[in-house]
Amino acid sequence: MNRRRAGLIFKRLAERDPAPQTELVYRTPFQLLIAVILSAQATDVSVNKATVALFRDAPTPARMLALGDAGLKEYIKTIGLFNAKARHILATCGALLERHGGEVPRERSALEALPGVGRKTANVVLNVAFGEPTLAVDTHIFRVANRTGLAPGRTPLEVERGLLAVIPPRYLQHAHHWLILHGRYTCTARNPRCGVCPIAIWCEWPEKSRYAAVESRPTRVRNEG
């Protein structure tokens, strides 16, 4: 897809939601970092349920590290892969205290050096906490980019590079959230809502007409009289 067509897609998404926000609940860059680590293979809803108490009782790296392994697991045990996540979070808290004075670094290399932090997590933190025009390709963005033809790719990195090549610079700040929310609520994995999709006119997915027809089909009301 060329930049002009991509620009039309993001213009429409921007008109519908000028300032999209993450659905993770946090108050500081540190809390965002922890929430994003916890969100791997988990929903934002489940993460938010767990972090309400966690961030209340342990809002800083020092206080979270003081919980210890068993203590931290009590807060996050409802989240998938909580054993590994607890280990990474405690190691990250230690690294933040030892290397960065307890603050979350703003450099990609420093973020990716933290335990349990990969490119996707670093991109989220850079974008949401520090306003950098980065793209974190999660399962929703990967699907939307491939399905619509915006940036077909076999890996998240291929998709990220493809999106950065076609998205006009003025839309990069919020592109991450527009695509995530679009994939989460409209361009869903199963039964995508093509009939109400605001960017369907530019979508290159060959199956969209079938799903649009299903959604727009009138509901038959049975006469109960």
Residues in the chain, total: 225
**Cα atoms in the 13 Å half-sphere on the side-chain side of 60:** 6
Q: Which residues are catalytic?
A: 120, 138
Distance CA 135, CA 128 (A): 10
Distance CA 157, CA 114 (A): 20
Distance CA 65, CA 91 (A): 8
In this structure, are residues 166 and 150 in contact, taking their beta carbons and an 8 Å threshold? Answer: yes
* Dihedral sign (CA 48, 53, 54, 60): positive
